Amino acid sequence: MTNMRDIIKESNVAVITGGAAGIGLAAARRFAEAGMCIAIADLNADRLGEARVELEAIAGEANVMAVETDVAHRHELEALERAVLQRFGRVHVLMNNAGIQPDTSIFSAEANWDHILAVNLMGVIHGTQVFGPNMLAHGEPGLIINTGSKQGITTPPGNPAYNVSKAGVKVFTEALQHELRNTAGARLSAHLLIPGFVFTELTKGDRTEKPDAAWTPAQTVAFMMESLERGDFYILCPDNDVPRALDERRMAWAIGDVIENRPPLSRWHKDYAEKFRAFVEGA
């Protein structure tokens, strides 16, 4: 198992998409505090500039770059990699974190589905395909961290395009890690970040204050770092409302739909409400 101190250290380079706010910015801060060179990518130019100034105060102007990037377009990720390599030479940590969460239904406009899948799923796939080969080639230890979601595992009703995108991130990252661990000489590993309820721009809605149930982005990143130190692939984060044991029961019930041939999403089916409650309480 690779020691994280060989990766998250002074002069090594981290690239974070969706890095101007939320979990991405919290991760960038943590990497900067460790002495790493930081490249953040995001869409909002003003917010990106504010994040750059904040990170420069930690790591120094020479060690931070901010690039306006739409991860929905592979050529913009290719331009990002060229800029990072020109500035810093190589990449040791890639965090494919950019994501969006507009409401959808099964019969939402095709453009809405296309946009979510292009950002949340293809942004992760293309980010990995663009940065991964050079991360493997330079031969130094490295990490690819892909931000998934519990909604990509238990797939609750309400936003099917988002669930499909995050389920795809899970499957892709599992396949990525399998391939990496079977690649001779590879010193690169992949990890799936599965946040709990985190108070970010993506989740806060009209709220101005963090709900008691939510974690902060900094708490989520602290948990991520502890998990990486242990070598965890699945970084399953709790929050102030849902402990790991409850997550485990919900996930076990979800796969039970397949094994027991129950109706899909039976957790939300009126005929299974009591059975699900008893299953959770029997943990």
> Residue 68 belongs to what domain range?
4-241
Distance CA 24, CA 28 (A): 6
Give the Å distances, CA to CA, from 105 to 79, 100, 151, 158.
34, 15, 15, 7
Domain shared by 220 and 236, yes or no = yes
pLDDT (average), residues 158-162: 96
Domain shared by 212 and 109, yes or no = yes
Q: What is residue 200's predicted lDDT score, i.e. its pLDDT?
A: 81
Q: What is residue 188's predicted lDDT score, i.e. its pLDDT?
A: 97
- Give tens-digit pLDDT for 102-121: 999 999 999 999 999 999 99
Q: What is residue 204's predicted lDDT score, i.e. its pLDDT?
A: 57
Mean pLDDT of the chain: 95
Beta bridge mates, 143? 93, 189
Catalytic (active site) residue 234 = no
Q: Which of 113, 131, 162, 172 is catalytic?
A: 162
Give the Å distances, CA to CA, from 139 to 7, 85, 150, 204.
12, 15, 33, 40
- Give tens-digit pLDDT for 73-83: 999 999 999 99
Question: For 12-24, b where at least 16 C-beta lie within 10 A, e where not — what string?
Answer: bbbbbbbbbbbbb
Domain shared by 148 and 162, yes or no = yes
Predicted TM-score (pTM) of this structure: 0.95
Cβ–Cβ < 8 Å for 24, 49: no
Q: Which two tokens stand for residue 34?
A: 């460790």
Q: What is residue 213's predicted lDDT score, i.e. its pLDDT?
A: 85
Domain shared by 148 and 254, yes or no = no
Residue type, 73: H
H or E, element range at 58: helix 45-59
Per-residue pLDDT band at 282 (split at 50, 70, 90): confident
Distance CA 273, CA 277 (A): 6
Cβ–Cβ < 8 Å for 93, 12: yes
- Give tens-digit pLDDT for 177-222: 999 999 999 999 999 999 999 988 766 566 668 788 899 999 999 9
Q: What is residue 202's predicted lDDT score, i.e. its pLDDT?
A: 65
pLDDT of 281 above 70: yes
Give the number of other Cβ atoms within 10 Å of residue 126's Cβ. 20
Distance CA 266, CA 5 (A): 44
pLDDT of 172 above 60: yes
Domain shared by 247 and 282, yes or no = yes
Q: Which residues contact 244 (CB under 8 A, 6 or more apart)?
A: 236, 238
- Give tens-digit pLDDT for 227-260: 999 999 999 999 999 999 999 999 999 999 999 9
Domain shared by 71 and 208, yes or no = yes
pLDDT (average), residues 34-39: 98
**Rounded percentage of the chain residues whose pLDDT exceeds 70:** 96
Q: Which residues contact 107 (CB under 8 A, 6 or more apart)?
A: none
Domain shared by 279 and 224, yes or no = no
Domain shared by 272 and 138, yes or no = no
Domain shared by 151 and 172, yes or no = yes
Domain shared by 110 and 191, yes or no = yes
Distance CA 32, CA 44 (A): 21
Domain shared by 148 and 100, yes or no = yes
pLDDT of 17 above 90: yes
pLDDT of 270 above 60: yes
pLDDT (average), residues 117-129: 98
Domain shared by 274 and 236, yes or no = no
Number of structural domains (the chain) is 2
